């Protein structure tokens, strides 16, 4: 069980949230994108073994979206940041989001 | 050595002290015709069929851990072929047919038991969906018949078909030729037979890089040193993205933890497998007497073979309601495996933009049943440098063309 610090509600169990997958994916212009670029946008994912920047939704709470940087091997939450923000520099202390 | 009643008697006479090793543990050679990445069932089956069907035996299977230590040894072993879309139905049916003759072919008892698999319907929509799938299967020559609640109760008395149940059973559908097999035995059987034919099976050997020159693979780098290869076939399951990236490819795959569990062993109560799409619960009974229980995936990317307890709780709630007999049983063991989920819930068995590099992944929560079939078509794809008719549609290109094979709703709890 992950303990997630929602930017609005504070520390809650992860079962209150739903994960919206990889964050920071830029939508290409559909009028000019090639099939390959469009497929990349729709389907290809980094799926890293390590730090993943992902979107979360506090579905059973404030119903706000936000970003999280999380290690996919240890599940350690390295940072919680706003939905419109760029990924922060990670210091590796694991205290992100607190 | 051929396994038979006679070899068993001979070895028994010697107090089982002289059984030979089932396969060698050689050091890697400097180069191979084909290197397979991943010693799960799919990788081992590929090596076996490369040697058997295509006469290519200068092959190495490289496994970072131990054989079958990935999802092959962690799955709940449901084998069935009742898929909705023609492409999937044909591929999984090929695999089911190979399962039916596998013990004889491998001279290894994979304990395939055609005990049937039942899917329950809990609402009108489920009933219609099962009827539709039943018709689709019949058109593809695959057995899948509708059954009534009474018939289900007769086959499996532990199901609660009471009208007052939280999840009423309105009906179901059954594939009688479906069932279970012994997961480790499938890996070991393929390994032993591939080794017989000259394939080198190398455990504790992690592939850390793939060498590509002028758009063509030349070899792999491993924890046991570099190995040259004319062709490379990857069957790394949950590590598809990691291995794909080594060859410079982005994959349409996300890795999630999928959990399962067993109860303490009890007397035989269930001689079939029952799945429930809507409640997301399935149950079978192992030969040891444990009830084998499966859950859904955790909702976020993970490479940790440990899932959330909330998923198990949710699953057990449905289970207790549908099978009241389990309420006082204890859960003996839970575990997780990292499954490779594709956007359309269908696998990729395909050539790639890198010449000589082939990818077999995306089997997600349901690839054990496909082990022999997947190896069979992947061996063909590697040997001939083009897909077999059965896996043509499972190409990596489908994500560009849009010809997805959407089995999300159609898969019976996806396993
Ligand atoms: C809990 C659970 C229940 C399931 N239930 C069912 C079911 O009932 N029916 C069904 O059909 N399917 C089921 N599945 C799915 C099924 O287990 C898989 O689809 C199938 O076993 C995949 O086989 P594989 O050989 O491709 O993968 P694996 O057995 O995972 O093999 C891949 C291997 O590649 C190795 N590897 C990865 N990276 C490297 C590297 N860089 N170098 C060397 N080796 C590497 C791994 O160590 C691993 O051994 C279930 C899965 C889970 C986790
Ligand atoms: Zn909140």
Which CATH number does the domain housing residue A92 bear? 3.30.2270.10
Inside any domain, residue A56? yes
Give the closest-approach CA distance of A51 to chain B in angstroms.
10
Inside any domain, residue A33? no
**What was the pLDDT predicted at B374?**
98
> Kindly report the CA angle at B190 between B353 and B346, in degrees rounded to 5?
40
**What was the pLDDT predicted at A1?**
81
Ligand 1 atom with the smallest distance to the CA of B73 is 29
**Is the CB of residue A3 less than 8 Å away from at least one CB of chain B?**
no
Residue nearest atom 37 in ligand 1 by C-alpha distance? B236
**Is the CB of residue A82 less than 8 Å away from at least one CB of chain B?**
no
Chain B residue whose CA is closest to A72 = B302
Contacts of A2 in chain B (CB under 8 A): 308
Res. B192: pLDDT tops 70: yes
Q: Give me chain B's average pLDDT, please.
A: 96
Instruction: Determine if ligand 1 sits within 6 Å of the CB of residue B179.
Output: no
Dihedral sign for Cα B382, B384, B386, B389, please: negative
Which of B251, B308, B400 is closest, CB to CB, to A47? B251
Q: Are B303 and B148 contacting, i.e. CB atoms less than 8 angstroms apart?
A: no
Inside any domain, residue A35? no
| Other Cβ atoms within 10 Å of B215 Cβ, number | 11
The ligand minimizing its distance to the Cα of A8 is 2
d(CA A52, CA B304): 13
Contacts of B239 in chain A (CB under 8 A): 49
Query: Look-up: residue for tokens 């590099």?
Result: B357
Q: A68 CA to middle of ligand 2, Å?
A: 13
Inside any domain, residue A15? yes
Query: Look-up: residue for tokens 């309420």?
Result: B327
Inside any domain, residue A76? yes
Instruction: Determine if ligand 1 sits within 6 Å of the CB of residue B294.
Output: yes
**What was the pLDDT predicted at B415?**
56
pLDDT in tens, B59-95: 999 999 999 999 999 999 999 999 999 999 999 999 9
SS3 at position A57: strand
pLDDT band at A90 (very low <50, low <70, confident <90, very high): confident
ipTM here? 0.93
Instruction: Determine if ligand 1 sits within 6 Å of the CB of residue B243.
Output: yes
| Beta carbons of B241 and A47 less than 8 Å apart | yes
Inside any domain, residue A37? no
Instruction: Determine if ligand 1 sits within 6 Å of the CB of residue B277.
Output: no
| Beta carbons of B251 and A74 less than 8 Å apart | no
Inside any domain, residue A31? no
Domain that holds residue A69: 1-24+47-98
Which two three-digit tokens encode residue B179?
A: 């069932």
Res. B373: pLDDT tops 50: yes
**Is the CB of residue B343 less than 8 Å away from at least one CB of chain A?**
yes
SS3 string, B365-415, reads CCCCCCHHHHHHHHHHHHHHCCCCCCCHHHCCCHHHHCCCCCCCCCCCCCC
pLDDT in tens, B306-347: 999 999 999 999 999 999 999 999 999 999 999 999 999 999
Which of A13, A39, A52 is closest, CB to CB, to B301? A52
Res. B287: pLDDT tops 90: yes
Inside any domain, residue A67? yes
Total number of domains constituting chain A: 1
Contacts of B399 in chain A (CB under 8 A): 39, 42-44
**What was the pLDDT predicted at B333?**
95
Ligand 1 atom with the smallest distance to the CA of B65 is 47
At residue B246, φ and ψ (nearest 5 deg) are -60, -30
The ligand minimizing its distance to the Cα of B36 is 1
Q: Report which of A13, A85, A93 is spatially closest to residue A55, judged by C-alpha positions.
A: A85
Q: A62 CA to middle of ligand 2, Å?
A: 4
pTM, two decimals, is 0.96
Contacts of B404 in chain A (CB under 8 A): none
Give the best residue of A17, A22, A43, A59 to mutate against chain B (max B CB count within 10 A): A43
Contacts of B73 (CB under 8 A, 6+ apart): B183, B184, B187
pLDDT in tens, B374-393: 999 999 999 999 999 999 99
């Amino acid at each position: 069980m992950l303990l997630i610090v929602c930017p609005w509600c504070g520390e809650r169990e992860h079962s209150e949230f739903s994960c919206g997958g990889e964050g920071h994916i830029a939508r290409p212009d559909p009028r000019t994108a090639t099939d390959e670029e469009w497929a990349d946008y729709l389907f290809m994912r980094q799926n890293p073994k390590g730090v993943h920047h992902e979107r979360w939704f506090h579905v059973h709470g404030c119903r706000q979206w936000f970003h999280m940087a999380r290690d996919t091997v240890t599940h350690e939450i390295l940072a919680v940041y706003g939905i419109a923000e760029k990924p922060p520099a990670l210091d590796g202390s694991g205290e992100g989001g607190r | 050595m051929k396994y038979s009643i006679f070899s068993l008697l001979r070895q028994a006479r010697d107090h089982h002290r002289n059984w030979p090793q089932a396969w060698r543990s050689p050091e890697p050679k400097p180069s191979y015709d084909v290197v397979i990445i991943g010693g799960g069932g799919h990788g081992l089956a590929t090596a076996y069929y490369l040697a058997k069907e295509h006469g290519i035996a200068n092959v190495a299977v490289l496994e970072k851990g131990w054989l079958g230590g990935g999802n092959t040894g962690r799955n709940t072993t449901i084998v069935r072929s009742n898929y909705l879309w023609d492409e999937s139905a044909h591929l999984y049916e090929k695999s089911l047919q190979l399962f039916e003759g596998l013990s004889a072919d491998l001279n290894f008892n994979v304990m395939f038991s055609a005990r049937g698999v039942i899917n329950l319907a809990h609402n009108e929509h489920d009933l219609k969906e099962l009827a539709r799938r039943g018709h689709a299967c019949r058109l593809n020559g695959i057995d899948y018949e509708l059954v009534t609640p009474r018939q289900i109760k007769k086959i499996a008395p532990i199901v609660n078909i009471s009208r007052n149940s939280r999840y009423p059973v309105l009906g179901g559908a059954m594939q009688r030729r479906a069932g279970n097999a012994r997961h480790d035995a499938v890996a070991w059987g393929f390994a032993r037979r591939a080794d017989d034919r000259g394939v080198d099976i190398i455990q504790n050997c992690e592939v850390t890089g793939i060498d590509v020159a002028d758009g063509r693979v030349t070899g792999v780098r491993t924890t046991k040193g570099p190995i040259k290869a004319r062709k490379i076939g990857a069957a790394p399951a949950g590590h598809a993205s990691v291995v794909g990236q080594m060859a410079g490819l982005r994959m349409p795959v996300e890795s999630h933890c999928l959990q399962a569990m067993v109860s303490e062993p009890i007397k035989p109560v269930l001689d079939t497998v029952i799945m429930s799409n809507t409640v997301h619960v399935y149950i079978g009974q192992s030969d040891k007497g444990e009830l084998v229980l499966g859950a859904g995936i955790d909702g976020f990317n993970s490479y940790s073979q440990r899932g959330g307890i909330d998923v198990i709780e949710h699953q057990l709630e449905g289970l207790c309601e549908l099978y009241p007999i389990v309420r006082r049983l204890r859960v003996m063991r839970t575990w997780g495996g990292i499954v490779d989920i594709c956007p359309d819930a269908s696998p990729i068995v395909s050539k790639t933009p890198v010449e000589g590099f082939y990818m077999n992944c995306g089997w997600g929560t349901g690839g054990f049943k496909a082990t022999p079939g997947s190896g069979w078509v992947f061996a063909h794809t590697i040997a001939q440098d083009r897909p077999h008719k059965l896996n043509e549609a499972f190409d990596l290109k489908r994500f560009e063309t849009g010809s997805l094979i959407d089995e999300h709703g159609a898969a019976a709890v996806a396993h």
